[in-house]
Amino acid sequence: MVKIIKEGRFGPGEAIVLLGISSMARIFLPYPRLLVDIGGPAVWMMPLGGLAAALTGIYLMSLVLKKSPGSTIIEITEQAFGPFIGMAVNILVTFQILVVIGAVFIREFSEAMLTITLRYAPISLIDAAFLAMGLLGAYLGVEALARTARLTYLYVLGGLSILIFSLIPFWNFHNMLPFFGNGPKEVFLMGTYSTAGIAEIIIAGVIVQAMGGAKIFAGIGYRAMLLGFGILFLSLTTLVLTYSWPVSEEFTLPFLRLARTIYLGRFFQRPEAIFILVWGIVGAIKIALLLYTAAVSLARSLKLPEYRPLIWPLGLAMFILSLLPLDMPSVIEVDAVYIRSAILLPDYLLPLLILAVLWLKGRGARAGS
Amino acid sequence: MSILANLLKLITYEENPDREGFVLKETSADQKATGKNEASSIGKNSPDEQKKQAGRGSFKKPVRPAGKVTEKPRKIKDSGEAGAVQTGQTAGRANEKPVVDNLSVSASLAENRDTVRILYGLPENKDIIMREIVIGTEPVINGFVIFIDGLVDKSIQDLLFQALMLFAARPAPPEKGKLALFVKERLLPGNQITLQSRFREILDAVNYGDTALFLEGCADALLVETKGWEHRGIDRPTIEQVVRGPQEAFGETLRTNTALIRKLIKNENLTTEFIKVGTRNQVNVAVMYLRDLANPALVAEVKRRIDSIKTDLIIDSGTLEELIEDNPYNLNPTVMATERPDRVAASIIEGRVGIIVDGSPFALIVPTTMYEMLHTGEELYTRWQFGTFIRYLRALAFYLSFLLPGLYLSVVLFHQEMIPTELLLAIAGNRERVPFPSLVEVLLMEISFELIREAGLRIPGVMGTTIGIVGALILGQAAVQANIVSPILVILVAVTGLSSFAIPYYSLAFSLRIYRFFYIAMGAMLGFFGISIGLFAQIILTANLKSFGVPYLAPIGPRTVTGADVVTRLPVFFHEKRPDYLNPLEIARQPDVSRGWLEQKDGGKDN
C-alpha cells in the first residue's frame, strides 16, 4: 500500500491568503505593462473578465474534486483517463506548466531585482537566491508556506495600501478616457484571455486536501480569486490614474515606477527600496509554492510516499530552465506568448475534459446496467 | 659527607624517574573497546578495506536520532549501579558490591550495618553519618541511624533522638515483626515517617535528606523526614523585575517552589507529580497542572518526555529544557523559563503545565508561543492602556533588535536614494574620516557591544555595573574621536542594544542577537533583497515550529481565536476565554459579564 504524502493542514483563512498572494505575484513583474499595451486606458477593466473566468474555473475544479472527495486533481485525472494517459497528463502538467512557470517566475523576479537594486550582480546569483528560498519553502511544506503567507500578508497589503494612498495626489481621472480604451474586444475578450491565467487554479487543485478538502474548496477559491484579482484591479487602476496609458506602456516594471513616484514631502520620498522587502517575500512564496506543487504532483503521479527527494531535482530543473532565456525581453516574450496560453490548459481545459470523460463513463455504466 | 653527596648529585646526570608525573590511564573498558577495534581491523585483509576503514575513522558520519533508535543501545549503568558509589578506595571491592536494586533490609542489624557500609563506602565517606543508638524501651532495642550531614535539620534530629533514647521508657512489643510499626506509631514524633524494606528507596531518601533508622530484628527501616539543608531564601526576581506586581522569585528548593505556586492557586485540583530524572543525581522534577483544566494529552506528553530521559545529571531546568523541547536545532526557544511564581500560576490557570527542577530557580512552562515570550506579568498588573502601550513599544523593539544594523547597511551600501539629502550629507561627512568599510565598522561596534555585555555579566560585584558605563560612554566616544566609527553608528548600535534589552525573555533576546549577525551579512551582501531573504527564511522556519504540539506563532500563524491578550492587552473583563490553541478542558475563564455589579441595578441602595 502506498504511503500517503504528509502535507499538513491549514485553515481556510491561510489558504485564501496563500492563493491570493500567489495570484497577485505578477503585479510586481512586467505583466501590468503588457496589459496596458492591450487595453490602453481601460486596462483597469481587464481583470473583470479574468475574474469571471477564474470564478468559473474554480467552480469547474470544485465539481471535479467533489467526484472523489478524498483525492486531489492528480488522482482524479488518473481515475478519468486511466493509469497510463492520466499519469502522462499529470507529468506533462508538472513539467510543462509548473516547472516552466516556476522557471519563468524565478527569472522574471531575478531580472526585476537586478533592475531595481542589484545592477551589477550576476543573474545566476539572484536566481540561486530565489531558488534557495523556494527550496526551503518547498521542503518545509505547504503548511509552513500558508502560515508564512498568513503572517506576511498584512505587511504586503499594508505596503500596497501605502503605495496607492501615497499616489493619490498624482491621480488624474482624465487618464481613464476613452472609457473603453482600445475597444471592448481588446478590453473584455483579450482582457479575459490575458488575465484568466493568473488564477493558477491547478495549484489549488493539487493542495486541496491540505486546505481542508473538496467541501470547502469552492468557498476558499472564490475568496482567493477576489483577493488576487482585486489587488490586480487596484494596481492597474492606480497605474493608469497616475500615468497616462502611453507613458505606462514605457515602463518595464510599472510597480517600481509607481513606488519611485511617491513624494510626500522632502523627507519621505523614493521609498521604492522598502517595497523590495514585500517584493522578495511575495516572490519567495510564489516560487516555493510552485516548486512544492510540482514536487507533490510528480510524487502523487508516480505513487511515491514522499515528495521531498524530488524538490532538489525539480528545483535544479527550474534553475537551469530559468537561465536559458537570453535576457529580460526574451523571458517576457516566453511569458506573454507561451505561458499565458499554456496555463489555461490545466486551469480550465483539464477540469472540463475530466468532467466530460467522467460523464461519458457514467453514461456508459448506466447504459450497461 | 652529605654536602659532598648533594654537590655530586647536582653536577652529575640522573634520569628523572618520574618525568611524566600523574597520568590518567585508560580504564579497562576503554582498553577493551580499543582492542576490539584493532582486532576488527586486523581481520580486514585487503589493503583497500583497510584504507576504507581508515577513511571511515577519519570522518565520522553523523547519525540521525531516528537511526540511533534501531541501533542496539549502549547499556548505561542503571541507577542501582550508580548508587553503589565507586570511590577510588572502594574500587577494589567493587566486585563484592551487591546490586542495590535487588537488596532488601535484613532482620539482622549487623548485616544491615555491613550493607550500608558497603553501599556508602564507609568509613571513607565522611559526610555520611552512621550513629549507633539504644532505644530506651523495656527491653532495650539496639539500632542505628544513617543520614547525611548537612542535608538534615539538626533540631528535628535532636527531637528524634530524644524521643527514642530518653522518652521511650515503655514496654516493647513481644513480636519483632511489629517493632517498626510500634516505633513509628508510639515513639517517633516526626510528621512524615514511612516504613521501607528496599535499600534502593532507603538510599534515595537518605540522599535526599531523610534519616533512616534500622532496628535489631526488624526487616524494615524507618524513614524519617529530616530534610533541612542550607538554602537561599525567597528573594526578589533578578531577571524579570516588575514595577507593580508580586516581588517573589523561585529559589533552589523544590518544595518551596511548589509551595509558592500552591500559595497562589488555592485549588484542590492543582496536581504536583514528581518524576525522577538522571541516573546519577536522581533529581526530582515536579510537573504541576490543574487536573480539571489542562488537556490530559498535553499532561501525558509532558510526563512521557520527562520520563523517557536517560542522562546521568540534570542540575538546572536549562538542561531539561533542551532534552524535552520539540526543535532543539532552531534558534528560537520553544519552552518558557521563568523565575516568577505568579507567571507559572497564571499559565497553569490557562491550562498549561509547569515543570520545576529541584535545585533550579527557573520553572519551565509548556506549551508556549512567541507572543507570550514578549509578555511580562506586569501588563496585567497595570492599567490595560499602559500594558498595551508597552506591548507595542516592545513589538517595535523586537524588530529593531535584529533588523536595525542590517537595514542600516542596506541603506548605506545599496539604497542611498532612500536617505533624504541632508541626512545623506551628514552621514557621508561623518563617514569621510572613517577608514573602514561600513560592514567592518558595524561589525566592530556590534562585537564590542557584545563584549561589553558579556564582560558586564562576568565581572564580579561593583565593577560589573561600572563596565557598562565605561564601555558605552568611553569606548564609544573614544572610537568616534579616533575615527574608527562614525557617530551615527554609535547611536544605531546603542538603539539596537536597548531594543534587545527590552525583550523580556532572555532566551528569545539571545536568539535575536544571533539573528542580527545574519541580517548584517545579508544586508551587506544583497541590500534589502538580502534582508527579504532573511525575513522569509526566519518567518518560515519560525512558523514551522511547535511547542508541545502547539504552533509557535499561534494565535496569528495559524490563526485561531485571538483572545484579548496577544499584542493588544484588552481590559481584564474582556478576558473571557482561555487561549484556544491550548485546548483546555474548560475554555471559559469568566462569564460575558464578569463585573456583576453592572447588573445589580439597585446596588448600593440598601446601604
Q: What is the pLDDT of residues B261-318, one digit of tens each?
A: 999 999 889 999 999 998 888 899 999 999 999 999 999 999 999 999 999 889 899 9
Highest mean pLDDT (candidates A235-249, B61-75, B228-242, B524-538): B524-538
**Distance, first Cα to last Cα, chain A:** 31
Q: In degrees rounded to 5, what are phi and psi of residue B287?
A: -110, 115
Q: How far apart are CA B279 and CA B314, in angstroms?
A: 9
State yes or no: pLDDT of B534 exceeds 90: yes
Question: pLDDT tens across B14-72, in order?
Answer: 776 666 667 777 777 666 665 555 544 444 455 555 554 544 444 555 444 444 444 44
3-state helix, strand, coil in chain B (%, to 5): 50, 10, 40
Q: Residues 546-565, chain B: which have Cβ within 8 Å of A?
A: 551, 553, 556-559
Contact B532 A284 (CB under 8 A): yes
DSSP classification of residue B196: E
Query: Is the pLDDT reported for residue B151 higher than 80?
Result: yes
What pLDDT, on the 0 to 100 scale, is given for residue B368?
93
- For residue B75, the model assigns a pLDDT of 44
Please list the residues that pair with B215 across neighbouring strands: B143
CA distances (Å), origin B329, targets A144, B325, B326, B511: 17, 10, 9, 12
* Least CB–CB distance from B415: residue in A117, A146, A267: A117
Q: How confident is the model at residue B87 (pLDDT cuts 50, 70, 90)?
A: very low
Buried b vs exposed e over A320-339: b needs ≥16 C-beta within 10 Å?
Answer: ebbbebeebeebbebbbeeb
Residue B437 pLDDT > 80? yes
Say if the ipTM goes beyond 0.95: no
Q: State residue B454's pLDDT score.
A: 84
Residue B515 has pLDDT above 90, yes or no: yes
Phi-psi region of A189 (alpha: psi -120 to 50; beta: other; left: phi over 0): alpha
CB contact under 8 A, A147 and B544: yes
Residue B36: the pLDDT is 53
Identify the band that residue B348 occupies on the pLDDT scale cut at 50, 70 and 90: very high
What pLDDT does residue B114 have?
92
Beta-carbon separation of A136 and B532 below 8 A: no
pLDDT at A52: 92
The residue of chain B with its CA nearest to that of A272 is B418
Min distance A186 CA to chain B CA atoms (Å): 37
Q: Per the CB < 8 Å rule, is B418 touching A152?
A: no
- Chain A contact set for B537 (CB, 8 A): 133, 136
Cβ neighbours for B260, distance < 8 A, ≥ 6 positions apart: B234, B248, B250, B341
B517 and B331 in contact (C-beta within 8 Å)?
no
Residue B78 confidence (pLDDT): 42
Is-contact B201 B220, C-beta < 8 A? no
What residues of chain B lie within 8 A of the CB of A277, using their CB?
A: 528, 531-532, 535
Q: Running DSSP on this structure, what letter comes out for residue A241?
A: H
The tens place of each residue's pLDDT in chain A, 369 residues long, gives 445 677 778 888 899 999 999 888 888 888 888 888 888 888 888 889 899 999 999 999 999 998 888 888 998 998 888 888 989 988 888 887 678 888 998 999 999 888 888 888 899 999 999 999 999 999 999 999 999 999 998 888 998 898 888 888 888 888 888 888 778 888 888 888 888 888 788 899 999 988 888 888 899 999 999 999 999 999 999 988 888 878 877 788 888 888 888 887 777 777 788 888 888 999 999 999 999 999 999 999 988 888 999 999 999 999 999 999 888 888 888 888 888 788 888 888 889 999 998 888 877 776 666
Three-state SS at B305: helix
pLDDT surpasses 80 at B103: yes
Q: Tell if the pTM clears 0.90, that is, is over it.
A: no
Distance set, CA B107 to CA B96, B202, B218 (Å): 21, 15, 5
B218, B179 Cβ separation under 8 angstroms = yes
Residue identified by cell 537488596 is B103
Please list, in sequence order, all residues whose beta carbon lies within 8 angstroms of the beta carbon of residue A100, skipping any fewer than 6 positions away. Answer: A321, A339, A342
Are the C-beta atoms of residues A300 and A109 closer than 8 Å to each other?
no
Are the beta carbons of B418 and A271 separated by less than 8 Å?
Answer: yes
Q: State residue B76's pLDDT score.
A: 39
To the nearest whole Å, the CA of A105 is away from the closest chain B CA by 16
Give which of A228, A248, A272, A229 is closest to A172, Cα–Cα.
A248
3-state class of B557 per DSSP? strand
Question: Mapping DSSP to helix (H, G, I), strand (E, B) and coil, where does residue B132 land?
Answer: strand
pLDDT at B65: 47
Using an 8 Å CB-CB cutoff, list chain A residues near B567. none
Strands in B37-111 per DSSP E? none
For residues B91 and B87, give the distance between their C-alpha atoms in angstroms, rounded to a whole number.
6
What domains are defined for chain A? 12-357 (1.20.1740.10)
Contacts of B532 in chain A (CB under 8 A): 276-281, 284
The Cα A84–Cα A147 span in angstroms is 36
Looking at CA atoms only, how far is residue B543 from chain A in angstroms?
Answer: 6
Taking alpha carbons only, the member of A108, A149, A6, A92 closest to residue A321 is A108
**Length of chain B (residues):** 607
Print the SS3 string covering A331-357. HHHHHHHHHHHHCHHHHHHHHHHHHHH
- Grid cell locating B275: 518524576
pLDDT at A227: 92
Chain A: closest CA distance from residue B329 (Å): 15
Mean pLDDT across B422-451: 87
Q: Count CB pairs under 8 A between chains A and B.
A: 106
Residues of A with CB under 8 A from a CB of B: 10-11, 13-14, 113, 117-118, 121, 126, 129, 132-133, 136-137, 140-141, 143-148, 150-152, 266-267, 269-274, 276-281, 284-285
Question: Cell digits for A94?
Answer: 508538472
User: Residue B168: pLDDT above 50?
Assistant: yes
Verify whether the Cβ–Cβ distance B536 to A133 is below 8 Å. Answer: yes
Q: Using 50, 70 and 90 to split pLDDT, how confident is the model at B145? A: very high
Residue A122: CB atoms within 10 A of its CB come to 11
Say which of B531, B533, B540 has its CB closest to residue A148. B540
Nearest CA in chain B to A271: B418
What SS3 class is residue B141? strand
Q: What CA–CA distance (Å, rounded) separates B19 from B372?
A: 60
Quote the cell numbers at residue B185: 506509631
Give the model's pLDDT for residue B403: 94
Give the lowest-confidence range in A99-113, B53-67, B160-174, B476-490.
Answer: B53-67
